[in-house]
Amino acid sequence: MEALKLIGILIVIVGFILKKDTIATVVIAGIVTGLVSGMSLIEVLEILGKSFISQRVATVFVLTLPVIGICERYGLKEKAVDLIGKVKNATAGKVITIYQIMRALGAAFSLRLSGHPQFVRPLINPMAQGAAIVKYGELDKETEDELKAYCAASDNYGNFYAQLCFIGAAGTLLIVSTLSEQGCDIDALQVAMCSIPIAVISIVVGAVNNHLLDRRLDRKYGKKQGGKA
């Protein structure tokens, strides 16, 4: 009954899908997996305890929190908003691309932002909509929603693909911990360096995608409004 060992994976999947507490889900999955493969409870607890201690490095990002917390208190977010707000006379696509670049830089420099409520809703979406209205006149609902989706998406691209460039990021440390637990000789600096190409590529892909959006809008409204397509 080798396949029974996969029950832990099943528990993780079901637990995450049902939005059960993640910590409890992971611990239950570990204990059940150990027990069905013939370990004693004490043995499972020993493995859990040993690797939890040896992988404390995955939580070392906590040491960066005081600095980031103080910067937040002293206007970090407000100043970032000022910077982005300086972007004028750009098309909707360019506004979104510039935001994605800033978001990616932020992620690579360890900024913990919740971009959607802090930037996209109050700032980026209004700027992109504004740029499109200046160029094309009134927008239909479909275009409005498309711009909203692109703004929200740019936050995800910037955040996801650049975050591993920071050696203290939770994801970077997870990779180090998991692989060193498997016996690889690896450190956070190597992982961060290997993450740079994808970060750069994601910006290029995002920029091309946003440029295509501009072109599409030009075609759509250029004919209708006779705008400067």
Partner 1 sequence: MINTILSEIFYCLIGVIFILVGIRALKDETLASRSLTAAFWFLLAAIFMVGPYLPQAAVGASIVVLAVLTGLNKVKPSKGEALDAEQGRKEADRLGNKIFVPVVCLAGLALLAATFLPFGANNAIGISGLVCLVIVFAVTGAPAKAAANEGSRLMDSVGITGILPQLLAALGAVFTAAGVGDVISGAVSVLIPEGNMFIAVLVYCAGMALFTMIMGNGFAAFSVITVGIGMPFLIAKGANPAVVGALGLSAGYCGTLVTPMAANFNIMPAALLEMRNKYGIIKAQAVVAAVMFALHVAIMYFWAL
Among residue numbers 115 through 154, which ones bind partner 1 (CB under 8 A)?
116-117, 120-121, 125, 141, 145-146, 148-153
**Cβ nearer to partner 1, comparing 85 with 137:** 85
Candidates 59-67, 86-94, 131-139, 220-228; binding stretch for partner 1 (CB under 8 A): 59-67
Minimum distance of partner 1 from residue 141's CB (angstroms): 7
CB of residue 123 to partner 1, shortest distance in Å: 12
Instruction: Say which amino acid occupies 181.
Output: E
**Of 91, 97, 143, 195, the one binding partner 1 by CB under 8 A:** 195
How many residues touch partner 1 (CB under 8 A)? 124
Q: Can residue 220 be called a binding residue for partner 1 (CB under 8 A)?
A: no
Q: Is 101 in the site for partner 1 (CB under 8 A)?
A: no
Would you call 138 exposed, middle or buried from its count of C-beta atoms within 10 A (0-12, 13-18, 19+)?
exposed
Residue 167 to residues 50, 58, 107, 110, Cα–Cα distance (Å): 24, 11, 11, 9
Looking at residues 199 to 218 of the shown chain, list those that interact with partner 1 (rule: CB under 8 A).
201-202, 205-206, 209
The torsion defined by the Cα of 174, 178, 179 and 181, in degrees rounded to 10, comes to 140
b/e for 141-161, b at 16 or more Cβ within 10 A?
eebeebbbebbbbbbebbbbb
Nearer to partner 1, 71 or 134 (CB): 71
Give the Cα separation of 117 and 16 in Å (integer).
24
Q: Which of 84, 178, 220, 227 binds partner 1 (CB under 8 A)?
A: 178
Among 186, 218, 220, 227, binds partner 1 (CB under 8 A): 186
Measured in whole angstroms, the distance separating CA 184 from the mean position of its chain's CA atoms is 26
Stretch that binds partner 1, among 7-15, 87-95, 130-138, 216-224 (CB under 8 A): 7-15
User: Count of CB atoms within 10 A of residue 102's CB?
Assistant: 20
63 or 88: whose CB is closer to partner 1? 63
Quickly count: other Cβ atoms within 10 Å of residue 214's Cβ. Answer: 20
Quick check: 10 binds partner 1 (CB under 8 A)? no
